[in-house]
Amino acid sequence: MIIRSKKASDVPSSEITSEDVYVNRRKFIRNAAAGAAALAFAPQALKAFDGTPGQVVPARFKGMKSELGEDLNSYEDVTTYNNFYEFGTGKDDPAKNSAPFRPRPWTVTIEGHVNKPGEYQLEDFLAPHTIEDRVYRMRCVEAWSMVVPWRGFPLADLVRRVEPTGSAKYLEMTTIVRPAEMVGQRGRVLDWPYIEGLRLDEAMNPLALLATGVYGMDLPNQNGAPLRLITPWKYGFKGVKSIVKIRFVEEMPLNTWQVQNSREYGFFANVNPEVDHPRWTQARERRLGEFRRRETLMFNGYTDEVQSMYAGMDLRRWI
């Protein structure tokens, strides 16, 4: 599952800032101007795509599969079919509306039951961690799914670094509020800010990732730049985007969708084909780019890695 691993400090800054991508971007723009962009970068998953910035995926992702042998969804799929209500409720709204958003400079506030609270700049915050690419399946509660090569570092690394005290039982993670740049926040479609939570042991699970990129490049705004959560055994809505605050708390936090509709959404949101959403079945899913439906897997296929955390819990009750 971990396909590449380097200490952040070993990565030349040209790679962190994706200099090769900028070079390719210039090339891409030239090609696009010439109307030849599609020819420059060949096959399926490696489609060249102008998400917002014109970006081209690095060649190392060509032909890559998930650990279950699945093809990766294209960069285009990952960056044009999104849920990010801060930029609108349509799947294509985040790609269309997020260009005004400025993900740098970025401060993340760490507060609550930790020995090292404070305001961390994104760069300081990332520097000590191991940046990795990880191919994960993503399953949305709306019954579509994709396979995505995220880039980021284990949430557990951050948790250890800020030293939770004995009173820290849960994490509450909050998205930025910036209505001037986020057109969806000018309305009340959700109760802003978007909030998500994890139990401390879930946050420490090696699968939980703080993503800073996708396909080896910085996260596009529509995917939650510059920093978002990925918990692949849970429904996609746990993956809170554009995180500005992580609070370590004693009580189970209320997450946005639970506040919105507690009958339909709970705190844990573990992918579970046996527990239907009140309005539709969760037994099957449609992988973006496919026609036939797939059977949804318990914990989205990550049972071995996560089931021990839920031993003795009734997963029909704890949705």
Ligand X SMILES: Nc1nc2c(c(=O)[nH]1)N[C@H]1C(S)=C(S)[C@@H](COP(=O)(O)O)O[C@H]1N2
Q: How far is the CB of 87 from ligand X (least distance, A)?
A: 8
- 240 lies in the site for ligand X, by CB under 6 A: yes
Phi-psi region of 215 (alpha: psi -120 to 50; beta: other; left: phi over 0): left
- 83 lies in the site for Mo ion, by CB under 5 A: yes
Report the C-alpha gap between 15 and 229 in whole angstroms. Answer: 22
As given in the structure block, the two tokens for residue 11 are 């990565």
- 82 lies in the site for Mo ion, by CB under 5 A: no
Which listed option, Mo ion, ligand X, none, makes contact with residue 223 (CB within 5 to 8 Å by class)? ligand X
Report the C-alpha gap between 273 and 176 in whole angstroms. Answer: 32
- 237 lies in the site for ligand X, by CB under 6 A: yes
- 222 lies in the site for Mo ion, by CB under 5 A: no
As given in the structure block, the two tokens for residue 89 are 């409720």
Q: What is the DSSP letter of 21?
A: H
For the chain, how many residues are written? Answer: 319
Residue of the chain from 212, 221, 223, 255 that contacts ligand X (CB under 6 A): 223
Which listed option, ligand X, Mo ion, none, makes contact with residue 73 (CB within 5 to 8 Å by class)? none
Report the C-alpha gap between 281 and 170 in whole angstroms. Answer: 29
Q: How far is the CB of 98 from ligand X (least distance, A)?
A: 10
How many CB atoms are located within 10 Å of the residue 238 CB? 24
Residue of the chain from 18, 24, 66, 175 that contacts ligand X (CB under 6 A): 175
Nearest CA among 257, 260, 252 for reference residue 240: 257
Phi first, then psi, for residue 224 (nearest 5°) are: 105, 30
Q: Which amino acid is at 118?
A: G
- 236 lies in the site for Mo ion, by CB under 5 A: yes
- 236 lies in the site for ligand X, by CB under 6 A: yes
Residue with tokens 């509709």, as numbered in its chain: 261
Residue 294's DSSP bridge partners are 285
Which listed option, ligand X, Mo ion, none, makes contact with residue 139 (CB within 5 to 8 Å by class)? none
Q: How far is the CB of 254 from ligand X (least distance, A)?
A: 15
Q: Which of residues 135-154 bind ligand X (CB under 6 A)?
A: 138, 140
Closer residue to Mo ion, CB minimum distance, 120 or 302: 302
Report the C-alpha gap between 9 and 131 in whole angstroms. Answer: 9
Closer residue to Mo ion, CB minimum distance, 152 or 236: 236
Stretch that binds ligand X, among 22-30, 40-48, 67-75, 78-86 (CB under 6 A): 78-86
Interacting residues toward Mo ion by CB under 5 A: 83, 140-141, 236-237
Interacting residues toward ligand X by CB under 6 A: 82-86, 138, 140, 175, 194, 223-224, 236-237, 239-241
